[in-house]
Amino acid sequence: MSAVQRQKNLLKSLVIITGMSGSGKQTAYKSFEDMGYFCVDNLPTALVPRLVHLALASGGKITNLALVVDSRSGETPAEFTELFGRLKEFAFSCSVLFLEATDEVIARRYSETRRMHPMARSTSLIEGIQKERQELSSLRDMADVIIETSRFGVHELRKALQERYGMENRVSGINLSLISFGYKNGIPFNADLVFDVRFLPNPFFVEELKSRTGEDSEVVGYMMNFPETSEIIGRILEMLLYLLPRFAREGKSYCTVAVGCTGGRHRSVMVLNELRLRLVKEGFNPVVTHRDYGLGV
């Protein structure tokens, strides 16, 4: 394999986002950004090949690229057509995504946002929409994927894009954080879900375990002797396995799950660690923080 071929293989995919103004291109832009793509908005066509070459020369730092190219640049359909043709010659996957909506929906969206349509600065809004639709017809014919967004809300469009273009390594579709804490120090401000495990037997009142933490095997063994410990971990896991995919489906990118006991050193730490192990087996990769672990008893 030549050096040029190896370089091209470092860039896996390029998505050109284009389409009607008001059809959801900015939502698409943000969605691709959340999926790990390197994104650039409103780039003149003359600079697109240069950006692609920079991505190829990045040494693998840019592996997926998404660009918004549309009528704001003031370029002709012929220039867009030439650009797409040149990009299709590269070795990596190149997809043209065209977003559209009905005239009525686009007009309503512009009315709600009170923004100026790029082709209706000296004419009526509907006339500007129709003019843009006519000028973009050749781009639409070149598109690999066409999505009609009239009936889509933000979350529905994000879901459709994630299903088609989502990265393979986004196993769970959501960034999951687990925090153990002590109620005496307050509930974490960023917690989305809070579970109270103060009903479990407290190792703090066992003399030989008092100075240890939920990460010590002696504390783990002591707590697992009680059936309710395993039961609560299983019930929390069951609830998370139900909720997390639904959170992701609605476009939620982050979820912080907090588990609390009195001091945040024994029960919550032990439960959280075991919960993390079970979530990893289910395909999640949670970030764990023991907030009050080192604050003393």
* pLDDT per position as a tens digit, 28-80: 999 999 888 999 998 888 888 888 888 888 877 888 899 998 767 667 777 87
Query: Tens of pLDDT along 137-170?
Result: 888 888 888 999 998 888 888 878 877 887 543 4
pLDDT tops 70 at residue 130: yes
CB 15 within 8 A of CB 26: no
Q: Which of 206, 219, 218, 144 is nearest to 180 (CA)?
A: 219
Q: Is 76 helix (H, G, I), strand (E, B) or coil?
A: coil
3-165, superfamily in CATH? P-loop containing nucleotide triphosphate hydrolases (3.40.50.300)
CATH 3.40.50.300 in the chain, residues? 3-165
Q: Which of 264, 230, 257, 263 is nearest to 243 (CA)?
A: 257
Q: Report DSSP state, residue 115.
A: P
In which band, very low, low, confident or very high, does the pLDDT at 9 lie, cut at 50, 70 and 90? low
- Residue ranges of alpha helices (H) inside the chain are 3-10, 25-34, 48-56, 77-87, 103-113, 125-135, 137-142, 154-165, 217-224, 227-249, 267-281
Specify the amino acid at residue 216.
D
CB 65 within 8 A of CB 55: yes
CA distance 3 to 177: 41
Number of Cβ within a 10 Å radius of residue 252 = 16
pLDDT tops 50 at residue 271: yes
Query: What is the predicted pLDDT for the residue at 184?
Result: 93
Q: List residues bridging with 257 in a β-sheet.
A: 178, 193
What radius of gyration do the chain's Cα atoms show? 26
What are φ and ψ of residue 139, in 5° steps?
-65, -40
In which band, very low, low, confident or very high, does the pLDDT at 251 lie, cut at 50, 70 and 90? low
| CA 257 from centroid of its chain's CA atoms | 18
- The 175-182 sheet, strands edge to edge: 193-196, 254-261, 175-182, 287-290
Q: List residues bridging with 14 in a β-sheet.
A: 65, 94
| pTM (two decimals) | 0.58
Specify the amino acid at residue 129.
I
